[in-house]
Amino acid sequence: MIKTIGVLTSGGDAPGMNAAIRAVVRAGCELGIKVYGIMRGFNGLMSNDMYEMNLRSVSDIINRGGTILCSARSERFKTEEGMQAAIRTCRERGIEGLVVIGGDGSFRGARDISLKGIPCVAIPGTIDNDIGCCDYTIGYDTAMNTIMQMVDRIRDTAESHDRCAVVEVMGRGAGYLALSSGIACGATSILIPEVPYDFDRDVIERMKRTQRSGKVHFVIMVSEAIGGVEEMAKRIQAETGVEARATILGHVQRGGSPTSKDRIVASRMGYHAVQLLKDGIGNRVVAIQKDEVMDFDIYEALGMKSSIDLEMYKMAMEISI
Ligand code: ATP
């Protein structure tokens, strides 16, 4: 059985990462495995910046957003020199396995280390929910709820002034957050990269139609992959006569205490990762499908495309009019 492992968080932070770290450390300690907490993603692995964790190092973190190990993006790690530095650290510390918590970029890093002989298990931690092999990624539920709460506030003021709120939400190249929060907030239009749109037909005409039925305030949800909310607001105001304001929600979406769903999924995934690593199994991605925790080969996982539920989009358009 493996004696020493490391855990790191990489890429954009996501609420629930701490719950995953906690599960990895506690499951590792339970098996008598030494667990290093590696600071700032792959940077800490290359620069040997880490500390030994124990049962109490992860006390009181299950409820905290962000990541106690800090996160980073590292170009150096993609180079052969960076990879060699990381492998050297693993050899010096006796690290025989790694848990990498992050998005698909981090999975590629985990795959590369596995190829160099250090078994690596990746856990999907990203608010974007854009991992093909997985129904759900850690942080998505919290981000969705944060957006909903923020847009509820924006809606209060839009309602008071008969305005249109044009809101940009995160998701990088994926529209999951915009679609789900658009449904939860009753947005009149939802613009996501997966569904081609015509601004006149899908925003202006929809607004005019709802105006005719008596609606006087509106929410338009726009994915960051589409952007341009300021220009959209100007165009809406010019073409419908409704005063329009743009809001880019930004980093507020990444923070906050994780929801119960994120804490539970993160705990299950962290535990599962250690069960794989203890037997020396690496190059795997932990996933959840239909509420069952499973794992996939990283190559296979990276080849799987995530796709939007078009029926859900159609439903949202039919009921938010
Ligand atoms: P998020 O979805 O939140 O943005 P991510 O994990 O996809 O998270 P990236 O910036 O794409 O974020 O990747 C994180 C880090 O993983 C990179 O900074 C880099 O160190 C490593 N990484 C990304 N792509 C590769 C690759 N092709 N080979 C090796 N390492 C990589």
Q: Are 158 and 164 in contact (CB under 8 A)?
A: yes
Domain that holds residue 175: 141-254
What pLDDT digit, counting tens, does each position of 158-202 carry? 999 999 999 999 999 999 999 999 999 999 999 999 999 999 999
Q: How confident is the model at residue 11 (pLDDT cuts 50, 70, 90)?
A: very high
Pocket probe for ligand 1: among 43, 47, 70, 73, the residue whose CB has the most ligand atoms within 8 Å is 73
How far, in Å, from the CA of 234 to the mean position of ligand 1? 36
Candidate list 13, 104, 112, 128, residue with the active-site label: 128
* Exposure string for 23-33, b = 16+ CB within 10 A, e = fewer: bbbbbbbebeb
Q: Is the pLDDT of residue 33 over 90?
A: yes
pLDDT of residue 321: 82
Report the pocket of ligand 1 as residue ranges, CB < 6 Å. 10-12, 42, 73-74, 77-78, 102-106, 108-109, 112, 126, 128
Percent of the chain having pLDDT more than 70?
Answer: 100
Do 125 and 175 lie in one domain? The reply is no
What pLDDT digit, counting tens, does each position of 197-216 carry? 999 999 999 999 999 999 89
Q: How far apart are CA 256 and CA 244, in angstroms?
A: 28
- Flag whether 103 is in a domain: yes
Q: Is the pLDDT of residue 72 over 90?
A: yes
Mean pLDDT, to the nearest integer, of 301-319?
Answer: 92
Cβ contacts of 131 within 8 Å, gap of 6 or more:
103, 104, 107, 124, 137, 285, 287, 301, 306
Do 159 and 250 lie in one domain? The reply is yes
Mean pLDDT, to the nearest integer, of 305-318?
Answer: 92
Start-end of H helices in the chain? 17-30, 42-47, 80-93, 104-115, 140-160, 176-184, 199, 205-212, 229-240, 260-278, 298-303, 310-319
pLDDT of residue 1: 86
pLDDT of residue 51: 98
How far, in Å, from the CA of 106 to the mean position of ligand 1? 4
The CATH number for 61's domain is 3.40.50.450
Mean pLDDT, to the nearest integer, of 66-95?
Answer: 97
3-state helix, strand, coil in the chain (%, to 5): 45, 20, 35
* Residue ID of nearest Cα to ligand 1 atom 16: 106
Q: Is the pLDDT of residue 307 over 90?
A: no
Could you tell me the pTM of the whole model?
Answer: 0.95
- Flag whether 319 is in a domain: no
Q: Is the pLDDT of residue 306 over 90?
A: no
pLDDT of residue 93: 97
Do 70 and 134 lie in one domain? The reply is yes
* Exposure string for 37-65, b = 16+ CB within 10 A, e = fewer: bbbbbbbbbbebebeebeeebbeebbebb
Q: How far apart are CA 119 and CA 78, in angstroms?
A: 18
- Flag whether 310 is in a domain: no
Pocket probe for ligand 1: among 9, 10, 115, the residue whose CB has the most ligand atoms within 8 Å is 10
Cβ contacts of 299 within 8 Å, gap of 6 or more:
111, 283
In the residue annotation, 135 being an active-site residue is answered as no
pLDDT of residue 106: 96
Structural domains in the chain (count): 2
> Taking Cα atoms as reference points, which of 197, 271, 204, 213 lies closest to residue 242?
204
pLDDT of residue 222: 98
Q: Is the pLDDT of residue 31 over 90?
A: yes
